[in-house]
Amino acid sequence: MAGNIFGRNLTLTTFGESHGKAIGGILDGLPAGLGIDFDFINGELARRRPGQSKLVSSRNEPDQVEFLSGLKDGISLGTPIAFMVRNKDFRPEDYKSIENTYRPSHADYTWDAKYGIRDASGGGRSSARETLSRVVGGAIAKLFLNKVGITMTAFVNRIGSIYLQEEYSCYDLNSTENSEVRCPDNKTSEKMISLITETGEKGDTLGGEITCIIKNLPPGLGEPVFNKLNADLGHAILGINAVKGFDIGSGFKSSEMYGSELNDEFYFADGRIRTKTNNSGGIQGGISNGEDIYFRAAFKPVASIMLDQETVDKSGQKSIINPKGRHDVCVVPRAVPIVEAMAALVLADHLIQNSSSKLENFL
């Protein structure tokens, strides 16, 4: 099975199924000598885990990571770091009734079309539970980035029809984790919670958007042709379950603007070149320019709804389906650490690549 390895210089290989024995991964290419903060990594997993509030799936997984290689006394050795998280609260029997039926907008049919066999329990490998491996790898990448002062913050800016009215600079992003839906504005957060509750009572689901802000990235990261930094970020984010859209900087809105409105004019201040505006989202020509990188990810509504739907089984016979199991009404708040993790893996990968782009780094 191809497509399980992410990255070029810093690579993450993931393994495991939703209701299998464990989910895990191997992170390779991390420089030696990095101190690993295990509490931080488990804290990132806790932000993603189910059962963290009444608004999300009730699956009760502690999600404690076990490291198998690549570390000595909590310090990276420069060798592959292998890790796993054991599945404890899995119930494959919840999916017995649908193992031969295709759930609308899931990967069931396409998986069968590609492989001829699938694990129906929780979606198997196509389950969003696989993303916990990305969160572990991304947490380690964050520790690496923090060493050089690069930080990132993601937050929910929309759930369904409820959204933040102002630009990210107008909010205290440090308050994001105080919100049950990871929205930095209290009034908007309350409206989002009400909408999720009402929608869940109807048996339906919701989508939304996440914004991610990256600060203190130096200019010069990214390749100018096929491995543009914005393209790699888009590849990473669009690979997250349920993501249907990605835009960076002014994004799709730029198609409505004049060039005179869109262009970011340069000026010099405090010993560096800056831009007066940041419609480029911190990236020009596929290469970082030193300004904030900001992008948005659009998530579709969760496909598992608690309502009758028409479908067909493997033989093509019509069927009515109403899946059981434990599902999120809106996955967007739990996806915030996943978005951050994938962005961190991309930035760390490019930072390692960039270290070999200048001759003086070899002298």
Give the residue among 91, 127, 73 at the shortest CA–CA distance from 242: 127
**Contact criterion met (CB below 8 Å) for 229 and 288:** yes
Name residues whose C-beta falls within 8 Å of residue 232's C-beta, 6 or more positions apart in sequence.
Answer: 222, 346, 349, 350
* pLDDT at residue 95, rounded to an integer: 61
Banded pLDDT at 314 (limits 50, 70, 90): confident
Name residues whose C-beta falls within 8 Å of residue 319's C-beta, 6 or more positions apart in sequence.
Answer: 101, 310, 311, 312, 313
CA dihedral (176, 179, 182, 188) positive or negative: negative
The mean per-residue pLDDT over the stretch 312-323 comes to: 85
Sequence-distant contacts of 305-310: CB under 8 A, at least 24 apart: 305/203, 305/204, 305/205, 306/203, 306/204, 307/203, 307/204, 309/103, 309/104
Give the residue among 132, 129, 18 at the shortest CA–CA distance from 66: 132
* pLDDT at residue 91, rounded to an integer: 61
pLDDT of 121 higher than 80 = no
Percentage of the chain modeled with pLDDT above 70: 90
Name residues whose C-beta falls within 8 Å of residue 360's C-beta, 6 or more positions apart in sequence.
Answer: none
CA 97 to chain CA centroid, nearest Å: 31
Of 44-58, 87-101, 110-124, 206-220, minimum mean pLDDT range: 87-101
The mean per-residue pLDDT over the stretch 124-134 comes to: 87
**What is the pLDDT of the chain when averaged over all its residues?**
90
The mean per-residue pLDDT over the stretch 79-83 comes to: 97
CATH number of 5-352: 3.60.150.10
Give the span between the Cα atoms of 285 and 244, in whole angstroms.
Answer: 24
Of 119-128, 161-170, 178-187, minimum mean pLDDT range: 119-128
Beta strands in the chain (DSSP E): 5-6, 11-16, 22-28, 65-67, 71-72, 75-76, 81-86, 151-159, 162-163, 208-215, 243-248, 266-269, 272-275, 283-284, 287-288, 293-299, 309-312, 318-321
pLDDT of 288 higher than 90 = yes
Banded pLDDT at 359 (limits 50, 70, 90): very low
Q: Where are the domains of the chain?
A: 5-352
* pLDDT at residue 18, rounded to an integer: 80
Banded pLDDT at 67 (limits 50, 70, 90): very high
* pLDDT at residue 333, rounded to an integer: 96
Of 17-21, 266-270, 282-286, 308-312, minimum mean pLDDT range: 17-21
pLDDT tens digits for range 89-102: 656 555 666 778 88
**Contact criterion met (CB below 8 Å) for 221 and 214:** no
* Angle between the N-to-C axes of helices 38-48 and 332-354, in degrees from 0 to 180, rounded to the nearest 10: 140
Pull the structure tokens for residue 221. Answer: 């990261």
Percentage of the chain modeled with pLDDT above 90: 71
The mean per-residue pLDDT over the stretch 275-299 comes to: 97
pTM: 0.91
The mean per-residue pLDDT over the stretch 237-264 comes to: 96
